[in-house]
Amino acid sequence: MRTALIIGNGQIGSEIATQLTESRVVVRIATRSGGGATEVGASGAGLSDDAESGTISEALPGGTHPDGTLPVQSTNPSSGSTTVCAPDHVKADASDRAQLAEAATGVDVIFACAHAPYDSRKWEHILPRLDAAILDTAAELDIPVVFPESAYAFAGLNSPITESSPFAPVEDKGRIRQRLLEARSAHSATSASVIAGDLFGSTAKKWSSVVRMCITEPISHGRRAMVPARTDVPHGITVIADHAAAMIRAAERLTDVPAGTHQLFIAPTSNPTLAEIADFTADTLGRKYKRPFSIPRWATRAIGAFERSFFELNRLAPIWYEPCVITPGELAAEVGTTDWREGVRQML
């Protein structure tokens, strides 16, 4: 892999961009707002995913040079050191096929990390159309595409989730995820989907990482952790850096499969209880241990009448109020698994 397009620049896309850049892969990031970043060394130091703290790229649309080629690494003759260009940030709506095709021209792989607000009604309206545009573009340009995936389509299983588990959705979001996975399998594009548990780690956002929002943030401010879940049962979680590494490895594997193949993988995953995470967080910060409060399901149902995110969480009760064990697949052995305690330290 020499070149890659990342659609979206959130907690997963930004981590993929960092890892690829450190591996000297030329990276282009497509978002609806566009943006830019400064040039960085191979270590990734100084890389910014903030348009405000970087410089706006002057590359042509799609991050190409006037001759249509992608930017490349450059070597300083006097020092012999190699400088890697930071990702080119381009403005493109991934659901617009013309814009997406322009952004994807000249790349070896697409990482489709764009998503939609946490609302099943918006997922129904946005995600099938978005996936279809990405898959069609990938097929037309003959390049593979890798998607991050959740465990929602398997939430109703009463056994650990594996790469060969049958679908078992329990609500609308899970049924939408199942349809997306089935559509990827049926499409002529070469693709992979990489399942992860609840995400946490250095790039975790407190509004999209339950572990950070409900456990590490409150405890770091001296408050008790309050979680809309049982805290005494195993719960699958994945360090974001491990999810990104697994997606990159999945992309490399797609070069060796027949065209039109879809592969389902599980990223490196751990299954501690949420109470264990809270206990470790308090110990790490030197805080007095306070037993995390488990918000009962009837309360999330009541709050959900006014707050959509609680409504959506409540409908996924098997993931939150029963054991949700996710068994990592073979990619975990290939990319390694970060101890979940280190993932907590990254957020602290």
Domain ranges in the chain?
3-35+86-346
CA–CA distance, 182 with 23 (Å, rounded to integer):
32
CA–CA distance, 215 with 227 (Å, rounded to integer):
7
CA–CA distance, 13 with 148 (Å, rounded to integer):
10
Q: What is the pLDDT of residue 74?
A: 42
**218, 226 contact by CB (below 8 A):** yes
User: Which CATH code of 3.40.50.2300, 1.10.1050.10, 3.40.50.720, 3.40.640.10 fits the domain covering 3-35+86-346?
Assistant: 3.40.50.720
SS3 content of the chain, % helix, strand, coil (to 5): 40, 15, 45
Sheet containing strand 109-112, edge to edge, reads: 88-91, 26-31, 3-7, 109-112, 145-149, 191-195, 262-266
Q: What is the pLDDT of residue 87?
A: 86
Q: What is the pLDDT of residue 83?
A: 56
172-186 vs 308-315: helix crossing angle, rounded to 10: 70
Segments in the chain below pLDDT 50: 37-79, 81-82
Residue 222 burial (CB count, 10 A)? 10
Q: What is the pLDDT of residue 61?
A: 28
pLDDT in tens, 155-211: 999 999 999 999 999 999 999 999 999 999 999 999 999 999 999 998 888 888 899
